[in-house]
Amino acid sequence: MADTARSGRGRYRTSTSSPVRYRPITLGGRVIAYLWAATEEDAASCVMVLAAAEPIVRLGVASQWSKRLQEAGDQGMTATQALEHWSGSPEDPVAGSLGGPAREAANLDELYELANPGHESAPPPVRDRPEEPGRGRAPDWGPLSPFTLDVRSYHPTTESAVRYLPVRDDEQVVGYLWAAETDDAASFIATTASGRAGSVAKSHWIRWMVERRNEELSPLEALRRAAREPETPYGGRVPPDTPEATAPSLRALEEIAWA
């Protein structure tokens, strides 16, 4: 049962067939996600409310709660103990706050429908890989989902200066890959003019960044790997021999992309 002591440490399962207990995560007065814990299994994760904020904001929320759940698992908390641990805590400017009464849903599909009415229901259960010594159970992440936070990526924001590279398709610069100079942050900014092409490229490169993070590459190492990647039909590529540029802040790079 989820309320009994854990037999080990590490990540919780990120999918369940059991009923779930959940609380809303609010940011700026708006419900942006639901944190859930299985009542009969050692599973916990988060369901994002897709209409609540832009993808970059949702990714920041997901990243922060992924880290919090990892910390709770490392401390030996059960899934339901982790759900209660942050209840009523002050609002974090990125993660938001966890509040409201705990409620229960019969299954994850019911919670997905609450968060995103009429949208496609929950993805299939996550398959577990064998345990790695000293690391606990390593989940098979599968494709990056807009619903869940069960990915391990770089921070999507930074106060550091950033290095960046342009990404082009056949016709235009669709966005910029960037990596922080001094912390564990990296992501992709689509240009305003690129429209759908930029959105498609962003989806591709964020997935690509998740893969590099799970290979334990630093943000700058990932950026330099990107410069050697071949062109894809949906993500474009960094033009060959393009030198890295530096922006004094992420905000400065956003102004370039969104001009």
pLDDT tens, residue by residue, 80-134 = 999 998 888 888 888 889 987 889 998 888 888 888 887 654 444 433 333 333 3
Q: How high is the pLDDT of residue 136? A: 37
Q: Which of 31-40, 139-148, 192-201 has the lowest mean pLDDT?
A: 139-148
Report the DSSP pairing between strands 162-168 and 245-247.
Answer: antiparallel
Please state, in angstroms and rounded to a whole number, the distance separating the CA atoms of residues 2 and 19.
11
pLDDT-derived band of residue 181, with 50, 70 and 90 as boundaries?
very high
For residue 258, is pLDDT > 90? no
Q: For 202-257, what is each residue's pLDDT tens digit?
A: 888 988 988 888 888 999 999 999 999 998 877 899 998 899 999 999 889 988 99
Q: How high is the pLDDT of residue 120? A: 52
- Percent share of the chain, pLDDT over 90: 28
Q: What is the mean pLDDT of residues 45-64?
A: 82
pLDDT, averaged across the chain: 80
Using the Cα atoms of residue 125, residue 131, residue 132 and residue 135 in order, give the sign of their dihedral. Answer: positive
Q: How high is the pLDDT of residue 50? A: 83
What would the 3-class secondary structure string for 64-111 be?
Answer: HHHHHHHHHHHCCCCHHHHHHHCECCCCECCCEEECCCCEEECCHHHH
More confident residue, 58 or 131: 58
Please state, in angstroms and rounded to a whole number, the distance separating the CA atoms of residues 257 and 190.
7
pTM to 2 decimals? 0.50
Burial code (b: 16+ CB inside 10 Å, e: under 16) for 29-42 equals: eebbbbbbbbbebb
pLDDT-derived band of residue 158, with 50, 70 and 90 as boundaries?
confident
pLDDT-derived band of residue 38, with 50, 70 and 90 as boundaries?
very high
**Domains of the chain: which residue ranges?**
20-115, 162-257
Which tokens belong to 60?
């920041």
For residue 37, is pLDDT > 80? yes
For residue 36, is pLDDT > 60? yes
For residue 16, is pLDDT > 60? yes
| Location of structure tokens 């922006």 | 247
Using the Cα atoms of residue 51, residue 57, residue 63 and residue 67 in order, give the sign of their dihedral. Answer: negative
Q: How high is the pLDDT of residue 9? A: 55
Burial code (b: 16+ CB inside 10 Å, e: under 16) for 240-255 equals: eeeebeebeebeebee
Q: How high is the pLDDT of residue 167? A: 95
For residue 40, is pLDDT > 90? no
**Residue of 252, 65, 91, 31 whose CA lies nearest to 161:** 252
